[in-house]
Structure 1
Amino acid sequence: MDLISRIGQHFTDSAQTKLAAIEMLAAPIAQAAELMVACLVGNGKILACGNGGSAADAQHFAAELVGRFEMERQGLAAIALTTDSSIMTAVSNDYGYKLVFDKQVRALGQPGDVLLAISTSGNSENVVEAVHAAHDNDLRVVALTGKGGGEIGELLLDTDIHICVPSDRTARIQEVHALTVHCLCDGIDCLLLGVEE
């Protein structure tokens, strides 16, 4: 396959994965946006975590809330747990990377807050521990996963929301996660600002 055809196949595969996910994911994404708005209106905050590309998604989400997405509004309380290098290296050094998000959720999370836990496999050990910490501290969890949801999918409570991309391919899952982040940001803005269309 020549490079142009290969690139075209990536576009096609990405579009097909997204189209196949609409029916399955639209409702839980809407529920997650509603949950996050309830959290923010109640003076809560959203903590977000993930590794690698999922860390980038966590940071992207927090940036859009603290700054803005597409509409002007007051900044919203969101923290990416992937960004403080002193915390990340101290916890990793003293306790191991497994607890790098757990420690932050336990220190920063309050009842009524929301944890956005992102893992393409659903098996990232430090994200799994963050979910345990969230449950211990009465945070609700919105999980973005793929590949069937993995261990995180099994840990979620009835009060949590699971957005599991119907794909086993990491790149395709990450692409749907990026779109999901935009859908969440748009949904939050529309609900907060009373946008009808």
Structure 2
Amino acid sequence: MNPRIHIDALTETLSTLRSQSNVLVRWGRMMAERLPEGGRLLAAGNGGSAAEAQHLTAELVGRYRSDREPYSAIALCAESSSVTAISNDYGYDEVFARQVAAHGRPGDMLVLLTTSGRSSNLLHAATAGVRCGLTVWAMTGARPNPLADIAHETLALPGEPCTVQEAQLAAVHIMCEVFEAAIGVPAVERRVS
């Protein structure tokens, strides 16, 4: 394996992320408007995208760069008892949709992460989010994909699943950076060692 092939592919995906970064600025600013007022952010994904969803919510409940108040954010994929009970009783297609219906309130935000945009359980979650009055955002692989058609706004990145997922981590960090700047948290000075 030539690592340059992977790096070149990632560079292409990141180039598209750069061209769509205005989407992340909008999302981060909307989070800054809604979370301090009691809104919450719900996030979900499968596999590695589940890890990205957990990463996003951890940055909001904990902190990204600077110490600040915690904000309500729930990674639906991390709710193991709910995930297993719902999938057992209703099927895996409903595993996130039922949680969205239970936890989501009008004005909350739902972020769905996927490298394809075709996962049935995320499509059901997006539909439930729209029905419940949440703002639904999707981070997906390339268009066209059905999740992009349901979500209110989509960050669609071309590439192999691995490079899409790697770029989505950068997208999560950008959202958090915009969020913290918009709520007035000072940026941490970077130290050069």
Question: Do Structure 1 and Structure 2 share a fold, with TM-score over 0.5?
Answer: yes
Q: C-alpha displacement at 1:194, in angstroms?
A: 5.5
Change beyond 3 A, Cα 1:8–1:128: same
Q: Percent identity?
A: 35
Q: Which of 154, 162, 178 lines up with 1:162 in the alignment?
A: 154
Q: Which of 4, 12, 23 lines up with 2:8 in the alignment?
A: 12
Distance in structure 1 (CA, Å) of the matches to 2:172 and 2:137: 11
Q: Which runs of 4+ in 1 moved over 2 A?
A: 194-197
Distance in structure 2 (CA, Å) of the matches to 1:55 and 1:22: 23
| Residue of structure 2 equivalent to 1:22 | 18
Q: Is the 8 A contact 2:13 2:159 kept in 1?
A: no
Task: Give the letter aligned to residue 14 of structure 2.
Answer: K
Task: Give the letter aligned to residue 45 of structure 2.
Answer: G
Distance in structure 1 (CA, Å) of the matches to 2:9 and 2:114: 20
1:1-197 correspondence runs (5 A): 3=1, 6-23=2-19, 25-156=20-151, 160-165=152-157, 167-193=158-184, 195=186
Q: C-alpha displacement at 1:13, in angstroms?
A: 2.2
- Give the TM-score normalised by the residue count of structure 1: 0.90
Q: Is the 8 A contact 1:32 1:161 kept in 2?
A: no
Distance in structure 1 (CA, Å) of the matches to 2:118 and 2:59: 26
What is the aligned length?
188
Distance in structure 2 (CA, Å) of the matches to 1:168 and 1:141: 23
Q: C-alpha displacement at 1:195, in angstroms?
A: 4.6
Task: Give the letter aligned to residue 13 of structure 1.
Answer: A
Change beyond 3 A, Cα 1:196–1:83: closer
- Give 3-state SS (helix, strand or coil) of 2:169's partner: helix
Q: CA-atom RMSD, angstroms?
A: 1.6
Q: Which runs of 5+ in 2 are unaligned?
A: 189-193
Higher relative contact order (CA 8 A, sep 6+): 2
